[in-house]
Amino acid sequence: MGLLEFDGEPLTWEKLKPYVEHVKTHGIQQFLHNYRRLMQRPGDILKWGDEVEYMIIKFDHTNRKVQLSLRGEELCEILQEKEKKKMKNLTSLWRPEYASYMVEGTPGVPYMGYMAQFNVVEANMKMRRKEVQELLNDDEQIVSLTVFPRLGCIDFTYPPHKITGPESNPVSRSLFFPDEAITSHPRFPYVFSNIRLRRGKKIAINIPIFKDTNTPSPFVENLNDPESKAAAKPDHIYMDCMGFGMGNSCLQLTFQACNVEEAKLLYDHLAPVCPIMLALSAASPLYKGYISDIDARWQVIAASVDDRTNEEMGNEPLKNNKHVIQKSRYDSIDSFLSSNSKIFNDINLEVDEEVKSTLLNAGIDDLLAQHIAHLWIRDPLTLFSKKIDLDDENEADHFENIQSTNWQSMRFKPPPPGSSIGWRVEFRVCEAQLTDFENAAFVVFIVLLTRVILTYKLDFLMPISKVDTNMEKSQKNNAILTEKFHFRKNVMTSQSPACCAQLCSFKSNCTEGSVPWDKNTHYANEIPPPDLSECCSEMTIDTIINGKEDEFPGFIPLIRRYLDSVEVGVEARCSISEYLNLIGKRASGEYMSAAQWIRHFVTSHPEYKHDSVVSDSIAYDLLVHCDQIEKGTV
């Protein structure tokens, strides 16, 4: 979750408010000092890595019940011992996560640009899983599960914690999620408490319930709290705290680019890919013991950290706040950054005009200044008493305070001060898959796609409003097969090589928009497409991933063409082929997504009553089967 170091006492929202402008002002100065120092930093090499968030579950085989084991912090302390002793050649690194039943694992060192390393990703994930499993009790398992199916139900944790009403949970005031399930690191409870206090009311998450033959109509939950009753919507599953979003698991990737311009380029061209990968990786149809009518967690987690006030949501006239803000601080990106992207920024962007002016006067380019000024419409959510007055030339805590709590689909990450780490981008949308093979497949696929984009100088830019539309579509029930997604028809530029041109030989109205790349600026001029509406067409995910003659070349054929042009060992090529086969068949519908498989398992369970309810015994059988799949015993 970022920025876990702290010094001093955490400030409540009332104590933090007087320092909001202080943090914002000094955060911008920290960014400027860092940017001036590093903007011309050349020649960093490709590095990349994955982050997998895991849950610890506990089986009660006698009573056919499964719970979340609140041992994540205890386990993380043990897992971090080697790192704290500064031991070398670590195979993994571990961090706590929001919920005390979670741990986050990454490779011990970043991967490099060698093709052979694609054959190491899955093995490293298996090693991480084994490292945790060896610390567990006989009735516990580590799972890479996006959403626990009965999260928020009675006794869903072990040990269980009884909730009698909002007063049982002073941090969240939740009716369902105990404060004891929040990791005790001060950042986590104070971020959530300050979100609730800033917005002036509890978190309210409403997602549509899946209507089966015996589901009540209207479906209305029995809630014993007036605030919750007012916030809950009919025919929706109601959830009321950050844990229902940040207590879910995901799969993320971070890429180090060669320089700042390449980082901007990757940020922009991966952003339209985010909705496609969210739909392909969808793994979360179950919430709070019910079957929902969505397949992915994105809108749940966005609502779980939405700190906007009624004024900022546009429900009341602006009086105490400065902006009406269209999205939660956890959502899809709102603007592109690279030099030729401006015309595709077609949505109204709320910015802090004073911050933007400061950045422009300091020589920051317009698009990057706009991006930072957009992040700065948000307030800091945490502050520690000994981290208020900092050395702006050599520290970046105030910048990271706001940067790291804008949880967007992509994240543009400047190098930390005094570090050898370069300019990075983070790909943040994928849902955690049940097996290491699947997680590795998604990681390798996305990394190879970045190599294709840069090597073939492809152009995925499209109106960002259509990226937003795609994000909405990607979360729907069985979106892979039932939805079409906007995507750029002609992804070639004038500098794309002939081998790529053979795959993209069909004509499209976007051809005139193709522009030459320059080795320094990537795009040598700014010739926009004559008509943005003609740049894209609606395609199935099958077409986008696998290609379709005379319509779109397909990501996988482009990746295969790239692999044919580089040296790849036999073992790595075999592994890559298996990963591409999984992605391709999931895109075509031959293989179910994790979400659809989970949905099918529940609805075909002999104890399911066609009432949208996921009982303890159904959840138990589901997770036993998930564990068997991961272990390869079924």
Residues in the chain: 634
Residue whose token pair is 């429900």 = 315
pLDDT at 273: 98
In a domain, 491, yes or no: yes
Give the bridge partners for 411, in sequence order.
426
In a domain, 224, yes or no: no
527/545 Cα distance (integer angstroms) = 28
Give the residue numbers spanning the domain of 492. Answer: 436-507+535-592
422/608 Cα distance (integer angstroms) = 52
Please, are residues 439 and 280 in contact by the beta-carbon 8 Å criterion? no
Q: What is the CA radius of gyration of the chain?
A: 24
In a domain, 548, yes or no: yes
Residues of the chain predicted below pLDDT 70:
1-6, 505-531
In a domain, 431, yes or no: no
In a domain, 221, yes or no: no
Please, are residues 359 and 25 in contact by the beta-carbon 8 Å criterion? no
In a domain, 484, yes or no: yes
Question: What letter represents residue 120's amino acid?
Answer: V
- Strands (E) located in 41-99: 47-60, 65-69, 92-96
In a domain, 494, yes or no: yes
pLDDT at 321: 96
Q: Are strands 47-60 and 140-143 parallel, antiparallel or unpaired?
A: antiparallel
pLDDT at 476: 98
- Strands (E) located in 130-262: 140-143, 157-158, 205-208, 236-239, 251-256
Q: Which helix (H) or strand (E) holds 577?
A: helix 570-588
In a domain, 24, yes or no: no
Please, are residues 622 and 602 in contact by the beta-carbon 8 Å criterion? yes
- Number of domains, the chain: 1
pLDDT at 516: 40
- Strands (E) located in 435-586: 485-488, 536-539
